[in-house]
Amino acid sequence: MYAWGANSHAQLGLGYATEQCESPQPLTDVPFRGGDVECVAAGGGHTLVATVGGRLYACGWNNRGQLGLGHANDCVRFEPVGEFGFKRLYAGWDTSAGISASGDLYVWGSNVWQQIGQAGAKSIPTPTRIELPEGGSVAKVTFGLQYMAVLMESGKVWVLGKCKFLADYPLEVASKLVIRCLWDRSSVRDVVSGDNHLVLLTGDRRIECLGDNKHSQWLAENSISEDVTKLESGWTHSGCLTVNGTVYLWGRNNYGQLGRPVPTSSSSAPQKLQLETDQMELKEFSLGSQHGVALTRDGRVYCWGWNEHGNCGTGSTASVLVPTPIDISVPVRKVICGAGYTVAFT
Protein backbone atom coordinates (compact mmCIF):
# COMPACT_ATOMS: atom_id res chain seq x y z
CA MET A 1 0.00 0.00 0.00
CA TYR A 2 1.24 3.48 -0.93
CA ALA A 3 -0.23 6.91 -0.15
CA TRP A 4 0.65 10.52 -0.97
CA GLY A 5 -0.73 14.05 -0.76
CA ALA A 6 -2.39 15.92 2.12
CA ASN A 7 -1.72 14.38 5.53
CA SER A 8 -2.68 17.10 8.01
CA HIS A 9 -5.15 14.70 9.68
CA ALA A 10 -2.97 11.59 9.20
CA GLN A 11 -5.33 10.38 6.48
CA LEU A 12 -2.45 8.61 4.72
CA GLY A 13 -2.21 6.12 7.58
CA LEU A 14 1.54 6.59 7.99
CA GLY A 15 1.42 6.81 11.78
CA TYR A 16 1.90 10.57 11.94
CA ALA A 17 0.33 13.82 10.73
CA THR A 18 2.25 16.19 8.48
CA GLU A 19 1.23 18.88 6.02
CA GLN A 20 1.81 16.73 2.95
CA CYS A 21 3.81 13.99 1.26
CA GLU A 22 4.76 14.91 -2.30
CA SER A 23 5.74 11.41 -3.45
CA PRO A 24 4.33 7.91 -2.79
CA GLN A 25 5.02 6.67 0.74
CA PRO A 26 4.95 2.93 1.50
CA LEU A 27 2.76 1.87 4.43
CA THR A 28 4.60 -0.82 6.35
CA ASP A 29 2.65 -0.78 9.61
CA VAL A 30 -0.95 -1.59 8.72
CA PRO A 31 -3.20 -4.30 10.25
CA PHE A 32 -4.10 -5.83 6.88
CA ARG A 33 -2.41 -7.06 3.71
CA GLY A 34 -3.08 -5.54 0.31
CA GLY A 35 -4.43 -8.83 -0.97
CA ASP A 36 -6.96 -8.95 1.87
CA VAL A 37 -8.63 -5.64 0.97
CA GLU A 38 -12.26 -5.98 -0.12
CA CYS A 39 -12.96 -2.28 -0.68
CA VAL A 40 -11.64 1.17 0.22
CA ALA A 41 -12.94 4.75 0.43
CA ALA A 42 -11.16 8.11 0.72
CA GLY A 43 -12.90 11.29 1.86
CA GLY A 44 -12.11 14.87 2.82
CA GLY A 45 -9.46 13.75 5.29
CA HIS A 46 -10.27 10.18 6.30
CA THR A 47 -9.64 6.75 4.82
CA LEU A 48 -11.66 3.55 5.20
CA VAL A 49 -10.59 -0.01 4.40
CA ALA A 50 -12.71 -3.18 4.63
CA THR A 51 -11.10 -6.60 4.43
CA VAL A 52 -12.30 -9.77 2.77
CA GLY A 53 -12.79 -11.17 6.27
CA GLY A 54 -15.35 -8.47 7.06
CA ARG A 55 -13.38 -6.14 9.34
CA LEU A 56 -13.51 -2.36 8.93
CA TYR A 57 -10.46 -0.14 9.56
CA ALA A 58 -10.24 3.66 9.54
CA CYS A 59 -7.69 6.45 9.98
CA GLY A 60 -7.45 10.24 9.69
CA TRP A 61 -9.83 13.09 10.37
CA ASN A 62 -12.61 12.31 12.83
CA ASN A 63 -14.15 15.61 13.93
CA ARG A 64 -17.66 14.38 13.06
CA GLY A 65 -17.21 10.72 13.93
CA GLN A 66 -16.57 9.80 10.30
CA LEU A 67 -14.17 7.04 11.37
CA GLY A 68 -17.02 5.25 13.14
CA LEU A 69 -15.05 4.68 16.35
CA GLY A 70 -17.55 6.25 18.76
CA HIS A 71 -15.36 9.30 19.51
CA ALA A 72 -14.16 12.42 17.67
CA ASN A 73 -10.37 12.08 17.91
CA ASP A 74 -8.20 11.82 14.80
CA CYS A 75 -6.31 8.54 14.33
CA VAL A 76 -2.80 8.49 12.87
CA ARG A 77 -2.90 4.75 12.11
CA PHE A 78 -5.58 2.44 10.81
CA GLU A 79 -7.73 1.43 13.78
CA PRO A 80 -10.22 -1.47 13.83
CA VAL A 81 -13.83 -0.25 13.82
CA GLY A 82 -15.64 -3.58 13.93
CA GLU A 83 -16.93 -6.55 11.96
CA PHE A 84 -19.52 -5.41 9.41
CA GLY A 85 -18.83 -7.44 6.29
CA PHE A 86 -18.93 -4.39 4.02
CA LYS A 87 -18.60 -5.09 0.31
CA ARG A 88 -18.56 -1.42 -0.68
CA LEU A 89 -17.40 1.71 1.16
CA TYR A 90 -17.98 5.40 0.47
CA ALA A 91 -16.57 8.59 2.01
CA GLY A 92 -17.67 12.20 1.69
CA TRP A 93 -16.06 15.30 3.17
CA ASP A 94 -16.88 14.24 6.74
CA THR A 95 -19.35 11.40 6.20
CA SER A 96 -19.05 7.67 5.57
CA ALA A 97 -21.18 4.78 4.37
CA GLY A 98 -20.90 1.04 3.87
CA ILE A 99 -23.05 -1.54 2.09
CA SER A 100 -23.20 -5.08 3.44
CA ALA A 101 -23.31 -8.30 1.41
CA SER A 102 -27.10 -8.34 1.82
CA GLY A 103 -27.49 -4.80 0.48
CA ASP A 104 -28.08 -3.08 3.84
CA LEU A 105 -26.87 0.52 4.16
CA TYR A 106 -24.88 1.75 7.17
CA VAL A 107 -23.94 5.42 7.66
CA TRP A 108 -21.84 7.43 10.10
CA GLY A 109 -20.19 10.85 10.46
CA SER A 110 -21.64 14.32 9.92
CA ASN A 111 -25.40 14.70 9.82
CA VAL A 112 -25.57 18.50 10.03
CA TRP A 113 -27.81 18.63 6.95
CA GLN A 114 -29.48 15.29 7.77
CA GLN A 115 -27.58 13.92 4.82
CA ILE A 116 -27.22 10.51 6.44
CA GLY A 117 -30.83 10.35 7.51
CA GLN A 118 -30.82 10.48 11.31
CA ALA A 119 -33.35 13.11 12.38
CA GLY A 120 -32.21 15.48 15.13
CA ALA A 121 -28.60 14.27 15.38
CA LYS A 122 -25.70 16.45 14.21
CA SER A 123 -23.41 13.45 13.88
CA ILE A 124 -23.49 9.66 14.06
CA PRO A 125 -20.32 8.30 15.73
CA THR A 126 -20.69 4.61 14.80
CA PRO A 127 -21.94 2.72 11.72
CA THR A 128 -25.74 2.75 11.92
CA ARG A 129 -28.15 0.95 9.61
CA ILE A 130 -30.87 3.04 7.96
CA GLU A 131 -34.06 2.02 6.18
CA LEU A 132 -35.05 3.68 2.94
CA PRO A 133 -38.59 4.03 1.53
CA GLU A 134 -39.88 0.90 -0.22
CA GLY A 135 -37.03 -1.19 1.22
CA GLY A 136 -34.84 -3.15 -1.14
CA SER A 137 -31.09 -3.58 -1.54
CA VAL A 138 -28.70 -0.65 -1.88
CA ALA A 139 -26.28 -0.70 -4.83
CA LYS A 140 -24.22 2.46 -4.31
CA VAL A 141 -23.84 5.66 -2.29
CA THR A 142 -22.35 8.99 -3.36
CA PHE A 143 -21.83 12.15 -1.32
CA GLY A 144 -22.17 15.77 -2.41
CA LEU A 145 -21.32 18.84 -0.38
CA GLN A 146 -24.39 18.64 1.88
CA TYR A 147 -26.29 15.61 0.60
CA MET A 148 -26.13 11.86 0.02
CA ALA A 149 -27.51 10.07 -3.04
CA VAL A 150 -28.40 6.39 -2.76
CA LEU A 151 -28.78 4.13 -5.79
CA MET A 152 -30.99 1.10 -5.21
CA GLU A 153 -30.56 -2.23 -6.98
CA SER A 154 -33.98 -1.51 -8.49
CA GLY A 155 -32.52 1.48 -10.34
CA LYS A 156 -34.25 4.14 -8.23
CA VAL A 157 -32.23 7.00 -6.69
CA TRP A 158 -32.98 8.64 -3.33
CA VAL A 159 -31.38 11.88 -2.13
CA LEU A 160 -31.08 12.94 1.52
CA GLY A 161 -29.89 16.25 2.96
CA LYS A 162 -29.63 19.79 1.62
CA CYS A 163 -29.73 19.88 -2.16
CA LYS A 164 -31.23 23.10 -3.54
CA PHE A 165 -30.81 22.10 -7.16
CA LEU A 166 -33.31 19.27 -6.66
CA ALA A 167 -36.05 21.52 -5.26
CA ASP A 168 -38.39 20.61 -8.11
CA TYR A 169 -38.31 16.91 -7.24
CA PRO A 170 -41.05 15.69 -4.88
CA LEU A 171 -40.29 15.28 -1.18
CA GLU A 172 -41.24 12.14 0.69
CA VAL A 173 -41.29 11.70 4.44
CA ALA A 174 -40.83 8.11 5.53
CA SER A 175 -39.34 6.53 8.66
CA LYS A 176 -38.41 10.03 9.85
CA LEU A 177 -36.39 10.62 6.68
CA VAL A 178 -36.94 13.69 4.55
CA ILE A 179 -35.95 12.34 1.18
CA ARG A 180 -36.40 12.98 -2.52
CA CYS A 181 -36.99 10.43 -5.24
CA LEU A 182 -34.57 11.73 -7.83
CA TRP A 183 -35.09 9.50 -10.84
CA ASP A 184 -38.01 7.20 -11.56
CA ARG A 185 -38.42 7.69 -15.31
CA SER A 186 -36.10 4.77 -16.02
CA SER A 187 -33.66 2.64 -14.10
CA VAL A 188 -30.25 4.06 -13.18
CA ARG A 189 -27.06 2.00 -13.49
CA ASP A 190 -24.63 4.41 -11.82
CA VAL A 191 -24.60 7.80 -10.10
CA VAL A 192 -21.86 10.15 -8.90
CA SER A 193 -21.96 13.57 -7.27
CA GLY A 194 -19.91 16.73 -7.26
CA ASP A 195 -20.32 19.61 -4.85
CA ASN A 196 -23.63 20.66 -6.37
CA HIS A 197 -24.22 18.45 -9.39
CA LEU A 198 -25.11 14.84 -10.12
CA VAL A 199 -24.26 12.60 -13.05
CA LEU A 200 -26.39 9.53 -13.79
CA LEU A 201 -25.91 6.60 -16.15
CA THR A 202 -29.38 5.45 -17.18
CA GLY A 203 -30.56 1.97 -18.02
CA ASP A 204 -30.15 2.61 -21.72
CA ARG A 205 -26.59 3.86 -21.02
CA ARG A 206 -27.28 7.55 -21.55
CA ILE A 207 -25.48 10.04 -19.29
CA GLU A 208 -27.78 12.58 -17.64
CA CYS A 209 -26.56 15.58 -15.61
CA LEU A 210 -28.44 17.57 -12.97
CA GLY A 211 -27.65 20.59 -10.85
CA ASP A 212 -24.99 23.28 -11.16
CA ASN A 213 -23.60 23.92 -14.64
CA LYS A 214 -21.48 27.00 -13.91
CA HIS A 215 -18.31 25.16 -14.90
CA SER A 216 -19.75 23.02 -17.73
CA GLN A 217 -20.50 20.09 -15.44
CA TRP A 218 -23.30 19.08 -17.81
CA LEU A 219 -21.98 16.77 -20.49
CA ALA A 220 -22.63 17.81 -24.08
CA GLU A 221 -25.54 15.70 -25.36
CA ASN A 222 -24.81 12.48 -27.27
CA SER A 223 -21.06 13.11 -27.10
CA ILE A 224 -19.86 9.64 -25.97
CA SER A 225 -20.67 6.74 -28.29
CA GLU A 226 -18.87 3.95 -26.40
CA ASP A 227 -20.55 1.88 -23.68
CA VAL A 228 -19.86 3.43 -20.28
CA THR A 229 -19.02 1.10 -17.38
CA LYS A 230 -18.23 3.58 -14.60
CA LEU A 231 -18.80 7.22 -13.62
CA GLU A 232 -16.58 9.42 -11.43
CA SER A 233 -16.86 13.02 -10.24
CA GLY A 234 -14.75 15.65 -8.54
CA TRP A 235 -16.08 18.87 -7.08
CA THR A 236 -16.82 20.51 -10.44
CA HIS A 237 -15.64 18.04 -13.07
CA SER A 238 -16.68 14.52 -14.01
CA GLY A 239 -15.60 11.56 -16.08
CA CYS A 240 -16.42 8.07 -17.26
CA LEU A 241 -14.64 4.81 -18.09
CA THR A 242 -15.77 2.90 -21.17
CA VAL A 243 -15.77 -0.79 -21.96
CA ASN A 244 -12.76 -0.17 -24.21
CA GLY A 245 -10.60 1.06 -21.32
CA THR A 246 -10.89 4.72 -22.27
CA VAL A 247 -11.53 7.59 -19.85
CA TYR A 248 -13.38 10.74 -20.91
CA LEU A 249 -13.41 13.91 -18.78
CA TRP A 250 -15.41 17.15 -18.82
CA GLY A 251 -16.22 20.14 -16.60
CA ARG A 252 -13.90 22.58 -14.83
CA ASN A 253 -10.22 22.66 -15.76
CA ASN A 254 -8.65 25.52 -13.79
CA TYR A 255 -6.00 23.21 -12.31
CA GLY A 256 -5.63 20.84 -15.24
CA GLN A 257 -8.09 18.36 -13.74
CA LEU A 258 -9.26 17.36 -17.23
CA GLY A 259 -5.73 16.21 -18.12
CA ARG A 260 -5.52 18.25 -21.32
CA PRO A 261 -2.18 19.63 -22.55
CA VAL A 262 -3.74 22.97 -23.49
CA PRO A 263 -5.30 24.66 -20.41
CA THR A 264 -8.95 25.69 -20.66
CA SER A 265 -11.24 27.12 -18.00
CA SER A 266 -13.95 24.50 -18.56
CA SER A 267 -15.51 22.32 -21.22
CA SER A 268 -18.77 20.38 -21.56
CA ALA A 269 -17.30 18.44 -24.49
CA PRO A 270 -15.71 15.22 -23.21
CA GLN A 271 -12.18 14.49 -24.28
CA LYS A 272 -10.22 11.26 -24.07
CA LEU A 273 -7.58 11.11 -21.36
CA GLN A 274 -4.34 10.76 -23.29
CA LEU A 275 -1.60 8.56 -21.84
CA GLU A 276 1.88 7.98 -23.25
CA THR A 277 0.56 5.81 -26.10
CA ASP A 278 -2.91 5.20 -27.54
CA GLN A 279 -2.46 1.47 -26.95
CA MET A 280 -2.53 1.83 -23.15
CA GLU A 281 -5.90 0.71 -21.76
CA LEU A 282 -7.15 1.77 -18.35
CA LYS A 283 -8.43 -0.65 -15.74
CA GLU A 284 -9.88 2.01 -13.45
CA PHE A 285 -9.69 5.67 -12.48
CA SER A 286 -10.71 7.89 -9.59
CA LEU A 287 -11.33 11.63 -9.25
CA GLY A 288 -10.52 13.67 -6.15
CA SER A 289 -11.77 17.17 -5.52
CA GLN A 290 -9.64 18.61 -8.35
CA HIS A 291 -7.16 15.90 -9.35
CA GLY A 292 -7.29 12.40 -10.77
CA VAL A 293 -5.55 9.05 -10.81
CA ALA A 294 -5.70 6.29 -13.43
CA LEU A 295 -4.52 2.68 -13.39
CA THR A 296 -3.50 0.83 -16.55
CA ARG A 297 -4.26 -2.83 -17.10
CA ASP A 298 -0.60 -3.67 -16.50
CA GLY A 299 -0.51 -1.91 -13.11
CA ARG A 300 0.99 1.50 -13.90
CA VAL A 301 -0.31 4.64 -12.16
CA TYR A 302 -0.84 8.10 -13.68
CA CYS A 303 -1.92 11.34 -11.93
CA TRP A 304 -2.92 14.81 -13.10
CA GLY A 305 -4.59 18.04 -11.96
CA TRP A 306 -4.43 20.10 -8.78
CA ASN A 307 -1.26 19.32 -6.83
CA GLU A 308 -1.05 21.85 -3.99
CA HIS A 309 -0.52 19.11 -1.39
CA GLY A 310 1.57 16.81 -3.56
CA ASN A 311 -1.53 14.76 -4.26
CA CYS A 312 -0.32 13.93 -7.78
CA GLY A 313 2.78 12.25 -6.35
CA THR A 314 5.28 13.94 -8.69
CA GLY A 315 7.61 15.22 -5.95
CA SER A 316 6.47 18.83 -6.36
CA THR A 317 3.35 20.94 -5.76
CA ALA A 318 2.94 22.38 -9.25
CA SER A 319 -0.31 21.56 -11.05
CA VAL A 320 0.01 18.63 -13.45
CA LEU A 321 -1.68 19.34 -16.79
CA VAL A 322 -1.38 15.90 -18.37
CA PRO A 323 -1.39 12.35 -16.96
CA THR A 324 2.07 11.75 -15.53
CA PRO A 325 3.50 8.35 -14.52
CA ILE A 326 4.06 7.89 -10.79
CA ASP A 327 7.13 6.11 -9.51
CA ILE A 328 5.94 2.95 -7.76
CA SER A 329 8.32 0.03 -8.20
CA VAL A 330 5.73 -2.76 -8.20
CA PRO A 331 2.48 -3.27 -10.16
CA VAL A 332 -0.56 -1.64 -8.56
CA ARG A 333 -3.96 -3.37 -8.28
CA LYS A 334 -6.22 -0.54 -7.11
CA VAL A 335 -6.18 3.27 -6.85
CA ILE A 336 -8.43 5.85 -5.26
CA CYS A 337 -8.46 9.62 -4.67
CA GLY A 338 -9.44 11.47 -1.54
CA ALA A 339 -10.16 15.20 -1.67
CA GLY A 340 -6.45 16.11 -1.74
CA TYR A 341 -4.61 12.81 -1.52
CA THR A 342 -4.19 9.49 -3.33
CA VAL A 343 -3.92 5.84 -2.26
CA ALA A 344 -2.66 2.83 -4.22
CA PHE A 345 -2.79 -0.86 -3.32
CA THR A 346 -0.22 -3.32 -4.64
pLDDT tens-digit map of 148-168: 999 999 999 999 998 887 777
Nearest to 65 by CA among 77, 54, 75, 55: 75
At 190 the pLDDT is 96
At 100 the pLDDT is 98
At 203 the pLDDT is 86
Contact 151, 157 (CB under 8 A): yes
Q: Which residues of the chain have pLDDT under 50?
A: none
Distance CA 241, CA 249 (A): 9
At 258 the pLDDT is 97
At 173 the pLDDT is 58
At 167 the pLDDT is 72
Distance CA 125, CA 105 (A): 15
At 223 the pLDDT is 83
